[in-house]
């Protein structure tokens, strides 16, 4: 059952090393704590390789990309690859500009990415499918999201997560649809970034990355549903989201997770 992965995160408290964007860095740190992990946000070139060697997972997020950050990401990513540490890539805004798209493409070509997590526009762009990306927001993708996700996962030899109203997870063979969540999650900046952090914590304790990704996304979705029931709007929703993720249990994921395997 997927819920056991959430219990493992809380029992083992894995260190999750982030090189992420400055818009949501505090949210990512706090959501990692709420799922049961231990966040570190080390960006300096002088320490990223040493820091990642201590971590259970590395999360790379290109939301506020610049050339120095690219250098740091590749240093950390190559060090993680040498040590078998899972890498979660969130290609924020891929498809919006050539700079972002080429950087994300280079990362999936040169780094051993374990989980590629993005919205429909980002994943569609990296799969070579016509997509629309507005800034860092998805405008959709032409084609079947399930088949696009499966096809890209098969091509990369990695797990791919396409987020949306229904999240799709595939390793190229297995396909999982995760249906928990609430529309408020799409009305806040950073929920996609937070999802990558949660996936990182889960990947640190389970090398079955499709299952660990689905477990993390489902726990996050359940927390979103519970937070929305108490929220007056997106602002109070965010406050409740952290509280409810911190209390989601293994049994909650197993009982209330709306998960379909195709």
Question: Listing from the earlier edge strand, what are the strands of the sheet with 115-119?
Answer: 38-40, 15-19, 57-61, 87-90, 115-119, 159-163, 167-170, 175-178, 259-261
- Domain residues for the domain of 192 are 3-261
Q: Look up the CATH number of the domain holding residue 51.
A: 3.40.1190.20
pLDDT tens readout for residues 114-143: 999 999 999 999 998 865 555 544 455 667
pLDDT value at 207 more than 60: yes
Evaluate whether 164 touches 137 at the Cβ level (below 8 Å). no
Q: Which of the two residues, 79 and 132, has the higher pLDDT score?
A: 79
Separation between Cα atoms, residue 237 and residue 231, nearest integer Å: 5
Separation between Cα atoms, residue 181 and residue 194, nearest integer Å: 14
- Report the pLDDT value the prediction gives residue 134, as an integer from 0 to 100: 54
- Report the pLDDT value the prediction gives residue 141, as an integer from 0 to 100: 64
pLDDT tens readout for residues 184-196: 999 888 999 999 9
Q: Taking residues 85-99, report their average pLDDT.
A: 95
Q: Taking residues 216-224, report their average pLDDT.
A: 98
Q: How many helices (H) and strands (E) does the chain have?
A: 11, 11
Of the ranges 21-30, 126-135, 236-245, which one carries the lowest mean pLDDT score? 126-135
- Report the pLDDT value the prediction gives residue 129, as an integer from 0 to 100: 82
Q: Taking residues 23-41, report their average pLDDT.
A: 97
- Please tell me the pTM assigned to this model: 0.95
Evaluate whether 185 touches 156 at the Cβ level (below 8 Å). no
Mean pLDDT of the chain: 94
Separation between Cα atoms, residue 66 and residue 171, nearest integer Å: 30
- Report the pLDDT value the prediction gives residue 136, as an integer from 0 to 100: 47
- Report the pLDDT value the prediction gives residue 109, as an integer from 0 to 100: 97
- Report the pLDDT value the prediction gives residue 143, as an integer from 0 to 100: 76
Residues 6 or more apart whose CB falls under 8 angstroms from that of 85 comprise 52, 53, 55, 56, 57, 58, 79
Number of domains in the chain: 1
């Amino acid at each position: 059952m997927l819920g056991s992965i959430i219990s493992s995160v809380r029992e083992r408290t894995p260190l999750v090393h982030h090189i992420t964007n400055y818009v949501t860095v505090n949210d990512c740190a706090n959501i990692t704590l709420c799922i049961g992990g231990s966040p570190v946000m080390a960006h300096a070139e002088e320490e990223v390789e040493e820091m990642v060697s201590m971590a259970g997972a590395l999360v790379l997020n290109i939301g506020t990309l610049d050339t120095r950050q690219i250098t740091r990401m590749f240093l950390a990513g190559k060090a993680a690859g040498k040590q078998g540490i899972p890498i979660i890539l969130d290609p924020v805004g891929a498809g919006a500009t050539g700079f972002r798209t080429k950087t994300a493409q280079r990362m999936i070509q040169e780094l051993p990415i374990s989980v590629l997590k993005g919205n429909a526009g980002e994943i569609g762009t990296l799969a070579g499918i016509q997509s629309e990306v507005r800034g860092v927001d998805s405008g959709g993708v032409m084609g079947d999201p399930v088949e696009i996700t499966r096809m890209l996962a098969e091509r990369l030899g990695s797990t791919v997560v396409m987020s949306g109203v229904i999240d799709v997870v595939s390793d190229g063979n297995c396909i999982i649809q995760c249906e928990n969540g609430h529309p408020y999650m799409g009305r806040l900046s950073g929920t996609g970034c937070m999802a990558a952090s949660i996936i990182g914590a889960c990947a640190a304790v389970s090398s079955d990355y499709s299952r660990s990704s689905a477990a993390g996304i489902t726990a996050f979705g359940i927390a979103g549903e519970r937070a929305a029931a108490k929220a007056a709007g997106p602002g109070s929703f965010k406050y409740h989201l952290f509280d409810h993720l911190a209390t989601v249990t293994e049994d909650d994921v197993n009982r209330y997770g709306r998960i379909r395997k195709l």
